Structures are given as C-alpha cells and as structure tokens.
Amino acid sequence: MILAGRVAVNGEVVRALGTKADPARDVITVDGERVGGAQQRRVIMLHKPRGVVTTVHDPEGRETVRGLLAGVDERVYPVGRLDVQTTGLLLLTNDGALAARLGHPRWAIDRVYRAKVDGRFDEATLTRLRRGVRLPDGKVRPSSARVVRQLPTKTWLELAVHEGRRHIVRRLFEALGHPVDKLARVALGPLHLGGLAPGAWRDLTPQELERLEAAVGLRPAPRPRAAAAVARGPRGRGTPPRTPPPRPGGPRPRGRHGGRSASPAGRETAAGPGPRPRRP
C-alpha cells in the first residue's frame, strides 16, 4: 500500500517503508480514509495564565498548560508556544495535520499580541517597527502594528506577526529600546480570545474550526455568514468554557466561568488596557 502511494501522513503521501507515525498525533489515511485515529478529535482554546509552562510535562514540576485541561482525556499538545510570562490564546489539539499547518510559514497565520512596553513610543519608532527590525536570527516585520494607548511612562501596542520564533515579540521590542512589561496573545488567525477567563478553556465551535481549517487550506473558505446562517437554521453557540482548576499558590480565579471575566471597560488587564479606540 505504501509503495503504491495509497498511505498519507498529515496529508503528505509517504513512499518510504518504515516511515514512523504516531496514530495519536498524526492523521494517517489510506486511500483518503482516516485509519488508527481512535481518539475523538479535540481542538481546544485555552487562556494561558502567567507563570504556566507551555508543555505537557515539566521536568522541574512547574504548572503546565496540560494540567489546566481537567476532564480532557485525549492526548492533546500545544500548537506553538507562549513564554512562561506571556498570557493569552493557546491552542491544544490532537490533530497533527492541523497543528503542522498552523506552524508552517506557508500559511502565514497571524498571531496578534497586546504588549505593554517601557517608555513612550514616538512616530519614528512606530515607523521602524512597521518597516521591520533586524534580529540576530533574521528580520521580523509585523503584518500590522499600532499604538493602543500611550501612558506617561509606558505604551500599549497591538501587533501581528505571522511567525513563531522564540521570544520574537520580546526581542523585537528589546531591539527598539522598549522592553516588554506585559505580553498577551489575543488572536490566532481567525480565532479571538474574547472573554475567555485566564485558566479557562473550551473546544472550538464548528464555525471556528471551519474558519481555522480554511485559513490553512484544509477546506474551502466558508460561505459568508448570512448565507450560511440561512442554510443552517437556528442553532446553539458552541461549547461553554470550562472552569479552570484551582491553581496552587496562585490567586483563585473568579467570575462566571470560574476565571476572571472579560475586562471591565477602561480597566487594564494582561490582555490590554480595555476597549480599543477606533482606527483613525
């Protein structure tokens, strides 16, 4: 079957006998039909809190993102990583094909961050940021960048980058002379963190999955919302978020789903300084 080109792993036809694949993580198909995938597919959005490590197991015994997913039995893995001190939107999945595409530069998936940096950001520095900054491992050029709020000695910015190099946003601002004080990821491709509380998680809705898969070429682009809604008829709004487990040593989450709810108007949170001003 392999020599005949009938077997594919994560969408790529394999022809070498002895090719290794993990049925728990990889999507294995024969003649286009999935085999060996006994687990239910899970694609989970987590609001990673500060101080939690983006891994499934930490040899140093620190709290991990996997440990926040109480009740998830499937072997899900983080898609990319957020630094220990970074908060925000993290996907975890057991769908290897989807994870591979989300991390692949070909699909240029935007990661949108809110950053609070030291100092006031002037026009010249914003222009430098937008034009791109040379780092030791290559230039990084945000696909968008804007100042959200200027404080007396700090600046809140929102920027999008479509790559996942290590510490890329922190290094970018460091190179501009404005070290990062707080960093939160608020969107990933078509997905938005919204009001998901720190430490809480939920499965993606079918609509989110559809848009995500379309963004990485795993399915055609979804129909416009109005037409799709008419065709589908009334339906629920997806799975509710899950309560984050109690965090040893950390503040106990509060709010409707056990975590902090969406930031009150004008109040500063790790994900930003409150409502976004309109674009000029």
Query: Residue 164: left (phi > 0), alpha (psi -120 to 50), or beta?
Result: alpha
181 touches ligand URA by CB under 6 A: no
Based on the number of CB atoms within 10 Å of its own CB, is 85 exposed (0-12), middle (13-18) or buried (19 or more)?
A: middle
114 touches ligand URA by CB under 6 A: no
**Residue range at the interface with ligand URA (CB under 6 A); choices 131-139, 165-173, 204-212, 270-278:** 165-173
- Applying CB under 6 A, among 41, 141, 167, 256 the residue interacting with ligand URA is 167
Task: With both helix axes pointing from N to C terminus, report the angle between 96-103 and 206-215 in degrees, rounded to the nearest 10.
Answer: 50
Report residue 90 as tokens.
């993290």
**Residue range at the interface with ligand URA (CB under 6 A); choices 146-154, 167-175, 227-235, 266-274:** 167-175
56 touches ligand URA by CB under 6 A: no
82 touches ligand URA by CB under 6 A: yes
- Applying CB under 6 A, among 133, 168, 214, 218 the residue interacting with ligand URA is 168
Query: Is 83 a catalytic site residue?
Result: yes
Rounded to the nearest whole angstrom, what is the least distance from the CB of residue 91 to ligand URA in the complex? Answer: 13
- Applying CB under 6 A, among 58, 74, 83, 163 the residue interacting with ligand URA is 83
Q: Please list, in sequence order, all residues whose beta carbon lies within 8 angstroms of the beta carbon of residue 255, skipping any fewer than 6 positions away.
A: 197, 261
**Residue range at the interface with ligand URA (CB under 6 A); choices 5-13, 27-35, 82-90, 214-222:** 82-90
Q: Which is nearer to ligand URA, 82 or 147 (CB)?
A: 82
In order, the DSSP letters of 235-276 are ----PPPBPPPP-TTSPPP-STTSS--SPPTT--BTTBSSSP
Quick check: helix, strand or coil at residue 52? coil
- Residue count, binding to ligand URA (CB under 6 A): 8
163 touches ligand URA by CB under 6 A: no
Rounded to the nearest whole angstrom, what is the least distance from the CB of residue 162 to ligand URA in the complex? Answer: 12
Determine how many CB atoms are found less than 10 A away from the CB of residue 81.
16
Place of tokens 């290590």: 166
Among 83, 110, 118, 181, the active-site one is 83
169 touches ligand URA by CB under 6 A: yes
Rounded to the nearest whole angstrom, what is the least distance from the CB of residue 9 to ligand URA in the complex? Answer: 28
Helix%, strand%, coil% for the chain, nearest 5: 20, 25, 55
Place of tokens 């009001």: 195
Sign of torsion, CA 64 68 73 75?
negative
86 touches ligand URA by CB under 6 A: yes
Alpha carbons 33 and 136: distance in angstroms, whole number:
44
Rounded to the nearest whole angstrom, what is the least distance from the CB of residue 19 to ligand URA in the complex? Answer: 32
The residue among 219, 188, 221, 203 whose CA lies nearest residue 93 is 203
Rounded to the nearest whole angstrom, what is the least distance from the CB of residue 142 to ligand URA in the complex? Answer: 11
Q: Which is nearer to ligand URA, 66 or 170 (CB)?
A: 170
Binding site for ligand URA (CB under 6 A): 82-83, 86, 167-170, 183
